[in-house]
Structure formats: structure tokens, C-alpha cells
Structure 1
Amino acid sequence: MTASAARVTLYSRPGCHLCDDARAVVAQVCAELGEDYVEISVADDPELLRRYGDEIPVTLVDGARHDFWRVDPARLRAALTR
């Protein structure tokens, strides 16, 4: 899945426990709603690390910033069903 084809993008980094929690929420909500998501590691891109490094994990919905640090399942579900 490419970032352009997925409605949800999760920016994360290896070894991040908040990223693990966010991934679980994103995966569950996307599966419930039949939506796709893509996960991108900021560790692989210096520009993404500079932009998002202090707020990881960061989620985008339809290309717009949605949440950082924690993902609220109800809020994500609402954003995806608008």
C-alpha cells in the first residue's frame, strides 16, 4: 500500500512503545471500517525525523494531520466516517 492510496498514514519509529499502541488502534479502526493505512518510519528519512521526531507517533487522515502521541479510536473513527 502506498501513502497516496491509504487514507491513514502513521509516522513512527522503531522501538517506540507509543507507536506500538498507535499502530494497534489504527489497524483495528481501519479494519473495522475497511480502510487502508500505511506506516512510515521517520528513522529512514532525515526530513521526516526533523518534522515529526518530537511528536511520534503522528497520524494523518486524508493527508491532514490528525493526532500525535496517542490515537483516540473514537476520534479516528469519526474522521474516517465523515
Structure 2
Amino acid sequence: MSDSTPSVTLLTRDGCGLCAVALEQLRPICADFGIEVAIVDVDEAAATDPALRAEYGDRLPVVLLNGREHSYFDVDEARLRADLSR
């Protein structure tokens, strides 16, 4: 891994069942790499970043790795672990 710590963000919204499942999948993966999952509710963020909800709001949950889309709907565990290992 590089000197900089990677960031994993889950884009979600209140009441999203798939989002809850994705978070439960992400927590142990990220824990293995010593990082916390950041959670961003796109509806709450819309007040300051409406583009976020416009871009991702219809296909949640979305996993961002270092601010870039990594996967959506499902957590691609094997790919995420491989990318976090780099």
C-alpha cells in the first residue's frame, strides 16, 4: 500500500435496505485494512452538493474508493480487497 491511506465511502440514503447490507459487507473489509467506512447520505448532502444526488441517487448504494466510483448495488469484495492492497 502507498504512504497515503485509502478512503472508502458508501453513498446511501435513509431507508435503503441494500445500503444497509453494503455497509455490513464493507465494515469487515475495511477493518482488515485499518480504515473506517465513511457514510454519505446523498439526500442530506444535496443541500451542499446537489450533483452528488443527481449523479448517484438512482443507483444506490455506491462504493467510492478514493473518491471514485468502485461499485454500485453490490460490494465487489474481491476487487475492493485487491484495490486496497495496492
Structure 1, unpaired ranges of 5+ = none
Deviation of 1:50 (Å):
1.3
Matches within 5 A, 1:1-82: 7-46=7-46, 47=50, 48-82=52-86
Runs of 4 or more off by more than 6 Å in structure 1?
none
Deviation of 1:81 (Å):
0.6
Identity within the alignment, %: 40
| In structure 1, C-alpha distance between the alignment counterparts of 2:65 and 2:45, rounded to whole Å | 20
More helix by share: 1
Cα deviation 1:33-74 (Å, max 9, x = unaligned) = 212220000111331221111111111111211001110221
**Bigger Rg over Cα:** 2
TM-score normalised by the chain length of structure 1: 0.84
Deviation of 1:6 (Å):
6.1
Question: Given residue 36 of structure 1, which amino acid in structure 2 is its aligned partner?
Answer: E
| In structure 1, C-alpha distance between the alignment counterparts of 2:18 and 2:58, rounded to whole Å | 12
CA RMSD of aligned residues (A): 1.5
| In structure 1, C-alpha distance between the alignment counterparts of 2:23 and 2:35, rounded to whole Å | 14
